[in-house]
Structure 1
Amino acid sequence: MVVNTAWTRAVLPLCLLGVLDAEDRNYGYALLSRLAEAGLEGVKPATLYPALTRLEEEGAVEVEWGAGEGGPGRKYYRITEAGRERLRRESAAWHDLHGTVATLLGDREGGSS
């Protein structure tokens, strides 16, 4: 599936919070893999890491260094309670927007009319 890169950048923070909420903590490459598995395979490290840094600066995620698996240490990202609140709020807004766009496109169930 080809995904518009501007759309991906816009929803990337929400998607990252969703992944981190479901998986407790994770490191960058694993987050990229999880996003790709879900269909956002076009996300590049140059897009991912600035998004994670912004989420950290905003208090939505916290970072800790941990031992790597047979290699150097890794930065692990974990959602905070503020991040969970943001995820709840923005998820609701996303669902509202999705419903509005689907209505305007005449596509309520994912097919075309």
Structure 2
Amino acid sequence: MDPIALSASVVPFIVVAARSLGERLWSRDPDVTARGAAGWGRRLARRVRDGDPWAAEAIDDVVADPENEAAHAALRRRLGETLSSSPELHAEISALIVQAQASAPTTFSSFERPT
């Protein structure tokens, strides 16, 4: 999958995690758990953050306002750039998104709130 399409697949999972967990998205507290799409979003966000601290800032903007479509678009752009420049991260995120889509199948659109 090309980096732009991959980032478009990843961002909805991160948005679900931001809606579900808010600031707790980054928590290491074992009591903070997330299941389904939110759990995968959290896992993807952490892996992206580890690969690109600038992308963490874009994720933080989504966490601050999960309904902000401009923040979603900025994260897609930043993530696309990151995945284009890091073949290793691209491969890791590609594998994670395949697992996420298989285990938490959800249809995302800007007009619905994923559960």
Question: Does the pair score TM above 0.5?
Answer: no
Of Structure 1 and Structure 2, which has the larger fraction of its residues in strand? 1
Of Structure 1 and Structure 2, which has the larger fraction of its residues in helix? 2
Structure of greater Rg: 1
